A and B are shown apart, each in its own frame.
Chain A
Amino acid sequence: MSRITKRFIALKEKKRTALIPFFVPGVPEGMSIEDMVLHLEKAGADLIEIGVPFSDPVADGPVIQRADERALADGMNIDRILDAVATVRDRTETPLLLLIYFNTIHHYGCGRFARACRESGVDGLIVPDLPYEEAADLKEPLNGMPIDLITLASMTSRERLPMILTDSKGFVYCVSTKGVTGERGELHEGLKGFLAEVAGITSAPRAVGFGISTPQQAHSLKSRCEGIIIGSGLVRRLLDEGLDEGLNFVRTLRKALDT
C-alpha cells in the first residue's frame, strides 16, 4: 500500500479533509526543498506536491509560470529535487508527490525515472500532459512500486470518467474549473455534481484542485471531497509576499477545513 493510500485511510478515521499544498522549489528565494516540506507539514499539510519547473508549463497559469521561470533561472532541476526528497524522506512520513511535465520524465527515461523516484521516496506523480491513452509507457515501470500515478479528472470530459477512473491509484485529482491553474473568485457551479459523479465510479479519495483561493471555498468543499489542493494561491504569496504570508495562508485553510 502506498504512503498516499495509508495517509487517506488515516485521515478518514480522523474525519479530516486533506490539505495538499503545492510549491515550486526555490520560491521564496534561498528556501531549501527540505525546509519547505517541513514548514508546510507544520502548517497543516497532509500531503505535499512539489512542482518540477518546466520551460513550457502549458497546464499552468501565470503565477506558476513565473515561479517556474525563477526556479529554472536558479538552476533547479529534477536531480536536485530527487536528492532533496531523499534527504527529507528520513524526517517526514508526509506523502510527497511530484507535479511534473512528461517531457522531463521522457528525457530522463521512464524506467530510470521510476527507479529514481522509488529510491528517493517519491510517493506519487501528477503528470498534467499525460492523459490515460498515453500513460502506458510510465505505468509499466511503476507497476509493483509503491508510487501512485495520479489520475486527473475533468468536468469537460465527463463521458471519459468511467474509462480513466478504472484503475485510479492514490487519489483522483478533480480539476475544479476549466482552463489552467490559477486563483478563481468563484468555483464552477457544476462542481458538486461532478464530485458526486466521480464518487459513483471509484472509491478512491477525491482531491479538488485548480482555482481554490479562499478559506470559504475550502470550507464549502470539505464535506464534498477528501482533499483540497492549493497551488497558485500559495505560490503567489510565496513569490510576492514571502514565507510567512504563505504559511499563514496554509494555516488559514487548515482551520477552514477543520471547523
Chain B
Amino acid sequence: MSNTTGRYGEYGGQYVPELLMHALKELEAAWADAKADPSFMAEYRRLLTDYAGRPSPLYLAENLTRELGGGKVYLKREDLNHTGSHKINNVVGQALLAMRMGKKRIIAETGAGQHGVATATAAALFGLECRVYMGTEDIERQALNVFRMKMLGAEVEPASCGTGTLKDATNEALRHWAARVEDTYYVIGSVVGPHPYPEIVRDLQRIIGDELREQIMDKEGRLPDHIIACVGGGSNAMGIFYPFLGDADVKMAGVEAGGEGLDKRHAATLSKGDAGILHGMKSVFLQDAHGQITPAFSISAGLDYPGIGPEHAHLHATKRVHYEAVTDEEALAAFKLLTRLEGIIPAMESAHALAYAVKYVPQTPKDAVIVINLSGRGDKDVQRIADMDKEGTV
C-alpha cells in the first residue's frame, strides 16, 4: 500500500496531478495551523452562532414517533441553518481558511446546489470572487438554487461533459483549480477529494455530532441508540457520526440513494461499487468491468454521485457503520410523510434518511432513542415535485 498521510485504512490518499501537489501540501499546513489557532476557531464558532444560527435544534418528532410505533425519533434540524442545510458549517470554515491563506477567489462544485449556495453566500459575506461548477442536468432540476447563487453574486459555470451531474462538476472544478491554483481556493463541499479535504470537511461538520451529544444528554440523559443520515459524498453523515465513533453502543446507518432500485439505475456506491480512484481519492466507486466510472442515478441531485468519501468506505469495510440504500419511491413517500405529520418539508437528500427510519424504527423498542440527521430543507425540491405530480409520476 502507498504510504501517505490522509489514509482511512486503505482508502484516502492524494491521487492528483503533480501540478496540484504543492497546493495540497500548502493546504495541509494551513489547516493544521488554523485548527491549532484558538482565534481562528473562535471566529468560526462566532459565525456559526451569529450568522448561521447554530446550534441547530434537536427536535423530538412526536407525531412521527407515534406513527412509526417504535422508539423515540429525534430530528437534528440542520434544515434550519442559514442557507438551508448543513453545508454552511463547512463553507464558513473553508472561506475563513481561504482568506487566511491570502486567496481572494473561491470555486466550488455543487450537485443539488446547496453547497453552491452556501459557498456563494460566504463569498458575498467576505467579499470574495466566486465561481460554482454545476452539471447541466442539475442546473435544470435545481433552477431555484441556480438563481440564488447568481443573486448572491456568484458565477455559475455549467459542466456539460459526461453525465452533467455532480461528478462532472467536480471534474471541471478540479481542472479549473489546476489552471488557477496560485490565486484560487477550491472549497470542496463534501468529505471527498484528495487529503486533506476529507479531514477538513469532517472537522468542520463534526459540530453537528458535538452538539447532538450535549443536546441528547440534556434531553435523555444518555447517548442515542441509533443515528441515521443520508450519504452521497457523506459530509452530513460524517459530521454527525464522527464524535460517536468511539461509542460502541451507538449504532449508525448511512443511507444511500437506491434510485430506481439496486438492479436498475441508482447511486448506491457502497452497496454496489468497487474500490477505485477518482477525484483525488482512493475510495469506492460505481464502475464497469474496465474501470470506467458509470453514471449514478438518483431523484436527489445531492446524492447523485458515483463515489463516496474515503472515511465512509473505511467505516463500511470495518462494519462500524451500516450502509443501506432506499429507493426514490421510498424517499418520496418519506418526504411527504414528514411534511404532513410534522409540518417540516425535508430536502430530498434528507428524505432518504427518513425513509430508512420509516422501515427501521417500527422494529425498535419504545424506549429506544433514534436520531435522524435532517440535513437540509426541501424548498429547493418543491418545484420539481410539483412538476412530477403534474406528470403523474409521483
Contacts and interface: CB of A to CB of B under 8 A. Distances in A.
Most buried by B among A79, A103, A164: A103
A7 B204 CA distance: 52
A166 interface: no
Interface in A186-229: none
Nearest to B276: A103
B179 A179 contact: yes
16 contacts: A59-B17, A69-B161, A106-B275, A106-B282, A106-B291, A133-B14, A136-B1, A152-B17, A156-B19, A156-B22, A156-B181, A160-B18, A178-B181, A179-B19, A179-B179, A180-B178
Given A133-B14, A178-B180, 7 more contacts: A55-B292, A56-B167, A59-B17, A134-B2, A135-B2, A154-B19, A156-B181
B13 interface: yes
Interface residues of A, number: 43
A179 B178 CA distance: 4
B127 interface: no
Interface of A: 54-56, 58-59, 61-62, 65, 69, 72, 77-79, 101-104, 106-108, 128-137, 152-154, 156-160, 164, 175, 178-180
A69 B161 CA distance: 9
Nearest to A175: B19
Given A55-B293, A178-B180, A179-B175, A134 B162 contact: no
Contacts of B180: 178-179
Contacts of A154: 17-19, 21-22
Contacts of A159: 22
Interface residues of B, number: 42
B15 A107 contact: no
Nearest to A66: B161
B276 A157 contact: no
Interface of B: 1-4, 13-23, 161-162, 167-168, 171, 174-175, 178-182, 274-280, 282, 285, 287, 290-294
Contacts of B276: 103, 106-107
Given A56-B167, A56-B278, A156-B23, A175 B2 contact: no
Contacts of B20: 156
A55 B294 CA distance: 8
A160 B24 CA distance: 12
Contacts of B19: 154, 156-157, 175, 178-179
Contacts of A180: 175, 178-179
A229 B154 CA distance: 37
Most buried by A among B178, B179, B293: B178
A156 to B, nearest CB: 5
Given A77-B290, A103-B276, A153 B175 contact: no
Nearest to B160: A62
A135 B293 CA distance: 21
B292 A156 contact: no
B175 A58 contact: yes
A136 B275 contact: no
A63 to B, nearest CB: 12
Contact of A129 (B17, B23, B294): B17
Closest 7 CB pairs of A and B: A107-B291, A179-B179, A157-B22, A154-B19, A55-B292, A77-B290, A55-B293
Contacts of A131: 14-18, 21
A56 B1 CA distance: 24
Given A103-B277, A107-B274, A107-B276, A157 B171 contact: no
Contacts of B181: 156, 178
A158 B278 CA distance: 25
B162 A55 contact: yes
Given A102-B15, A129-B16, A152-B17, A108 B291 contact: yes
Nearest to B173: A58
